[in-house]
Amino acid sequence: MPHKIAVIGGDGIGPEVTSVALEVMRAAGADLETTDFRLGGFRYLEDGVVLPDETLEELRGYDAILLGAVGTPEVPPGVIERGLLLKARFELDLYVNLRPFVLPNGHEFVVIRENTEGTYAGEGGFLRKGTADEIATQGSVNTRKGAERCIRYGFELARSRERKHLTLVHKTNVLTFSGDLWERTFQEVSGEYPDIETAYNHVDAACIYFVEDPTRYDVVVTDNLFGDILTDLGGAVAGGIGLASSANLNPERIAPSLFEPVHGSAPDIAGQGLANPTAAVLSGAMMLDFLGDSETAGIVRNACDDVPSSGTTEEISSAILANISQGAP
C-alpha cells in the first residue's frame, strides 16, 4: 500500500528541492501517493490564506507531510511562521523536533527539541505600545507533560543507540522555574533507564562544546528556544545548515508528522537551478524511516554520501540518483 504524502512545496526553492526529494525516494523504491497543497507566502499574497482549519483537517488524513520551505520577503515576519508552521506543530501536536548531524569526521549525534511549548507558545503582550513607556513581555510556557514526553523520547532513542548517552541542555542557574522543572523531570525519568548514561550542560557551555568538542554528544534533549539555536549551530558545524534535515514528530502517530529541510526559502536563488536538494532528500529519508520503510530510507541516505556539496540542483540530484542506480553501499 502506498504511503499517502501531503506535499507543501511552499516558497522560493521549496518546490525545487521537494521535487528532487520525491524523485530520489521513488527511484530508491518508495511507493508514494502524493497530493500537493498550495500553501506559503505566495498563497498569502494571492488571497490572504495561510493555513485554514479545513486544510489542516484534510492534512490529518495523510501518513506524513513533506515541506520544502516557506517565507517570502513581501510578507511581514511572523505571519507565515505563526500561521502555518507553528499552527501545524501545535494543532497536530508535533512535539518532538528531531535533527541528526553527521560531522566531517563521521561522528553522528542527534538533538531533540521540545516543539510546542516554551517561548514559542505565544504567551505575552504589550502595554502602551508605540509610546516611550512601552512594555513588552514574552513568557515561556513549560508543562510537566511537555517536558516529560520529550525527555522520555530522548531516553528511548538513546537506548536504541550504541553509545546510550543522553545530555540535558538548559540554563538552570538563571531560569530557575522552567529549568527546575526540566531538571527534576530529567532526573526522575532517568531512574527508569539505569542503562543510559546522562549528563547536563548549561546552554552557553553547550554552544562552546558544539563547536570545540561535539563528539561528546550522542543524544541531546532541550527546550524549544535553546533547541532552535543549538540545532542551527549543529548544522553549521556539520557542514552547513543547507545540508541539515529535520523531522517534526507526533510519536504516537495520532496525526501526520512533518519533515522538512532546515534551510529557508532562499528567494534570491529561486528558479535558477542553484538550490542544493540534499537536505530535502535526507528529510525524505527521515520520513521513510518514521513510516517503517527503513530499507528504502537507508538507500536514500547512502545515496547522499560523497555527493558534491556545491553545484547546480541538476548536478547534485544527478549524483544522488546515479548512486542509487549503481547501488551505493
Q: How far apart are CA 293 and CA 286, in angstroms?
A: 10
Residue 204 is among the residues annotated as catalytic for this protein: yes
Q: What are phi and psi of 17, to 5 degrees?
A: -75, -30
Question: 93 an active-site residue?
Answer: no
Cα-to-chain-centroid distance, residue 151: 17
Q: Closest Cα to residue 207, out of 169, 161, 260?
A: 169
The helix or strand, by DSSP H or E, that contains position 249, with its residue range, turns out to be strand 245-249
Considering the candidates 44, 62, 95, 120, report the single residue annotated as catalytic. Answer: 120
Count other C-beta atoms under 10 Å from residue 55's C-beta.
16
Q: Which of these is catalytic: 31, 36, 204, 268?
A: 204
- Whether 31 is a known active-site residue: answer no
Locate 61 and state its grid cell: 488524513
Which candidate in 36, 232, 268, 305 is catalytic? Answer: 232
Please tell me the distance from the alpha carbon of residue 114 to that of residue 225, in angstroms, as a whole number: 9
Query: What single letter denotes the amino acid at residue 234?
Result: G
DSSP 4-72: EEEEEEESTTHHHHHHHHHHHHHHTT--EEEEE---SHHHHHHHS-S--HHHHHHHTTSSEEEEEE---
Q: Which of 153, 171, 217, 223 is catalytic?
A: 171
**Which residues lie closer than 8 Å to 177 by C-beta, 6 or more apart?**
142
DSSP 106-152: S-EEEEEEE-SSBGGG--EEEESTTSTT-EEEE--B--HHHHHHHHH
Query: What nine digits make up the cell of 4?
Result: 499517502
Residue 53 designated active-site: no
Q: What is the DSSP letter of 76?
A: P
Catalytic residues: 120, 171, 204, 228, 232
